[in-house]
Structure 1
Amino acid sequence: MTQPRPPSQQRADSVAAPRRFPLRELTLFLALMVVVLAVYTAMGSAYGTRMLVESACYAILALGLTIQWGYAGQFNAGVMGFVALGGFCAMFFSIPVNEAFWNSELPGELGLALLYMLAAIVLVVAASRLDRIGIPKPLRTLIAVVLGVVLYMVVINNFREVAGQIESQAGFIGGMALPVWFGWIVGGALAGGVGYFIGHVCLGLRSDYLAIATIGIAEIIKAFLKNADWLTRGTATVSPLPWPVPGPGEVGFTLARALYLSVTAVIIAVIFFLLHRAYNAPWGRMIRAIRDNEVSAAAMGKDINKRRLEIFVLGCILMGIGGAVLASFNSLFDPQGYLPLNHTFLVLVMVILGGPGNNLGTIFGAVAVYIIWLMSEPLALFLMQLAVDIGSATFGWDAPTNLDSRALQARVFVIGLLISLVLRFAPKGMLPEKVRHHG
């Protein structure tokens, strides 16, 4: 009679069990490769390479969202704000220095105004803690509120005067003329820092409340960048932004974009490797345990708030880096061009299609959804034009004059139809998260 194996041996056999052949993954990526080759054939190599670069930038954004939503269950609906912060840093640290600003007295006045602002913040924070020296809390709150309102009016009026002088004399403060990659790193750091501040306020919220809060924060960031003409030129935009590789004027559009694509591919490979290691490490298992059963994880002694904040900040860092890489590639910083549809909803669809929590699926979803988003307009225009031609020849219809705008609107319809089909037939994505169960 065969003796039963001890539990330790059973667990070892479970861990050492051979993995299945990745047929699903291989089939989907082969199909995606066929679609990419079709786009190259139909639209040309320059257009196809541009499409791949932009989809790679979106893949970085989607990886940031999938670790927040897929790893920890945090629904961040304010991706646009962190993308805009990354784009701002890519612009500010890479464009040339504005000599008209730095050769005047304006830097000193701006520094003094910022110092006044910092001092006002310190005073308000100190007033909010007066209860520690025995002042009653209602009186402490009243003092802090009154002091905050008064200091805000004083500081903001002074700052507006300085900003007006900068706009009238120098246009805006200009850039730092530093390497492009430095702006990308700072963009990730700034997005992570803002995410850290937001996390202390918003991570106590759950589900739709967190989504509403992050939407509002993203709009605040966009409004600040749009109206800070002294810092970003506002709606006047800043262009061109330098590339970390030779530009189209030096080596041609196709080769320049291919070189940029290689840079984005390296970034994605590094991020994918680090996230894969983290996902399968004890830290990743702890994050998923908090996501699946927060009460049980807390009972095991895990610091829930700290881990949730870590994953939120990490996702924001990736969104900032992706936004910086995308802004540099577009060679344009336009605060008004950051839209929830393009920079939040589209990223959300990418994660849903690929599979929340699956890094490989997220990359697949990013490339697939961006191709659908980009190619739906010319395909819709072709079908509309074909219908008009048939109708004119057969029924004598009058040809409409706004087919281009109607075809552009077809993008939203196609993406809406896509997400509806995915949620109906593949609610866990095309490549669902794989959770190993050990005996």
Structure 2
Amino acid sequence: MNSPAPSPAKPTTTRRFPVREVILFGALLVAILGVYAVMGAAYSTRMLVEASCYAILALGLTIQWGYAGQFNAGVMGFVAIGGFSAMLFSVPVNDAFWGTELPGELGRVLLYLIGSVLLVIGATRLHRFGVPKKLRTVIAVVLAVVLYLVVLSMLRGVTGEIQSRAGFIGGLGLPAWTGWIVGGALAGSIGYFIGHICLGLRSDYLAIATLGIAEIIKAFLKNSDWLTRGTATVSPLPWPTPGPSELGFTLARALYLSVTAALIAVIFFLLHRAYHAPWGRMIRAIRDNEVSAAAMGKDINRRRLEIFVLGCILMGIGGGALASFNSLFDPQGYLPLNHTFLVLVMVILGGPGNNLGTLFGAVAVYIIWLMSEPLALFLMNMAVYVGEGVFGWEPPGNLDSRALQARVFVIGLLITLVLRFAPQGLLPEKIKHHD
């Protein structure tokens, strides 16, 4: 009698204890507590709120770069769009503008603009009437130039009246969170336009394109005094929660932190589910081997566009939350160093494609960014004290500005060390391998 064949062994899955995660987040907690002990509760809570806003920006970048391999060098532009939307929707209504005929005149110019765009688009569709391609192109270009000059002339007349009579158009007086939502939608719409044109380019050209678009957005917001007051800034921006005048600095900031923390929790949960869903596996397959994914019938450009727009939406939401918390909209204050490079460092340190690592990198890098200045100033003062007392050196001037410049040095040193010793980040993306 033959003995039954042995059943195939079942694959065993072993779950390792997250030692690295516990150590890193434990060290981060110790650093946060140290900042609270040294700098006080009000300052430290403000630091955590700003870090949480940057964490939303970093999550938007990590799904673009980490999930799909799209290098977005124009984060600053989408952050500025979110801040503009938060300002536009939350600032009180300006009766000097809305109580006059100026809104109607501005609306008429916008209708002319929409009609001009439709006419140019229609000119590009003249092939349906048998118009040759070269002639069609000439007609579209000439029509676009003429209509642009006409609409620009009309817009300058109206905006000049707005600036002279009302200052700027003001806001809509709605809750701040409505501006966050619309900011995300507006950033996503601009991201769709950019992605529809540029996602067919290689990664380096995509980086150049996004960088250029970010500078265009900043220049537009800075020079549109009728819309944003330009360099004059708009303040104060209302909070979605009771402000410091009602609850005090520490409690008000703690309440704001609870809102941003809840927002991060929702975003993290949705991204975690999407990453482990078939959609997430498809996105990573396109990133790792585009040819194989296309051979399996996947729509490469459509999926790339989806992930790019999703990342831009998160950047717009984070930019709105950051502008509302700072209670200031200053178009000139959006800098590539602060709002693009710093977010990139956060993602690199934490680990592209790892949502948990991105959150760690956002908080850790922002703490280093803020605390490097007072720490450098302390070390410089100690060096001056020793130099004067022991060697009789003459103390140098402008220690405060020198300490502020130490931020850039510390961040540069940090990114160099990470790229040398942990190129995948401190918490790399976990890729499951199936035998």
TM-score after normalising by structure 1 = 0.97
What's the counterpart of residue 213 of structure 1? Answer: 209
What's the counterpart of residue 152 of structure 2? Answer: 156
What's the counterpart of residue 54 of structure 1? Answer: 50
What's the counterpart of residue 422 of structure 1? Answer: 418
- Quote the Cα distance in structure 1 between the aligned partners of 2:40 and 2:47: 11
Cα shift readout 1:114-152 (whole Å, capped 9, x = no counterpart): 111111111111112212211111111111111111111
Measured after TM superposition, the shift of residue 398 of structure 1 is 1.6
- Quote the Cα distance in structure 1 between the aligned partners of 2:396 and 2:218: 36
Cα shift readout 1:312-359 (whole Å, capped 9, x = no counterpart): 000000000000000000000000000000000000000000000000
Measured after TM superposition, the shift of residue 163 of structure 1 is 0.4
What's the counterpart of residue 281 of structure 1? Answer: 277
Which one of 373, 377, 381 corresponds to residue 377 of structure 1? 373
Aligned AA for 2:266?
V
Aligned AA for 1:136?
P
The 5-angstrom pairing of residues 216-227 of structure 1 reads: 216-227=212-223
What's the counterpart of residue 95 of structure 1? Answer: 91
- Quote the Cα distance in structure 2 between the aligned partners of 1:3 and 1:74: 51
What's the counterpart of residue 397 of structure 2? Answer: 401
Aligned AA for 1:139?
L
What's the counterpart of residue 263 of structure 1? Answer: 259
The 5-angstrom pairing of residues 43-82 of structure 1 reads: 43-82=39-78
Compared with structure 1, are the counterparts of its residues 134 and 53 closer, same or farther at alpha carbon in structure 2 (3 Å cutoff)?
same
- Quote the Cα distance in structure 2 between the aligned partners of 1:4 and 1:79: 58
- Quote the Cα distance in structure 2 between the aligned partners of 1:231 and 1:48: 34
Unpaired stretches in structure 1, ≥5 consecutive residues: none
Measured after TM superposition, the shift of residue 4 of structure 1 is 6.3
Which one of 351, 354, 364 corresponds to residue 355 of structure 1? 351
SS in 2 for 1:176: coil
What's the counterpart of residue 143 of structure 1? Answer: 139
What's the counterpart of residue 110 of structure 1? Answer: 106
Measured after TM superposition, the shift of residue 2 of structure 1 is 9.8
Cα shift readout 1:410-439 (whole Å, capped 9, x = no counterpart): 100000000000000000000000011123
Cα shift readout 1:14-69 (whole Å, capped 9, x = no counterpart): 5xx13111111011000000000000000000001000000000000000000000
Aligned AA for 1:212?
I
Does residue 170 (structure 1) correspond to residue 154 (structure 2)? The answer is no
Compared with structure 1, are the counterparts of its residues 331 and 427 closer, same or farther at alpha carbon in structure 2 (3 Å cutoff)?
same
Runs ≥4 residues deviating over 2 A? 1-6
Identity %: 79
Which one of 172, 175, 178 corresponds to residue 179 of structure 1? 175
- Quote the Cα distance in structure 2 between the aligned partners of 1:326 and 1:256: 15
Unpaired stretches in structure 2, ≥5 consecutive residues: none
Count of matched residue positions in the alignment of Structure 1 and Structure 2: 433
TM-score after normalising by structure 2 = 0.98
Measured after TM superposition, the shift of residue 239 of structure 1 is 0.3
SS in 2 for 1:308: helix
- Quote the Cα distance in structure 2 between the aligned partners of 1:380 and 1:86: 33
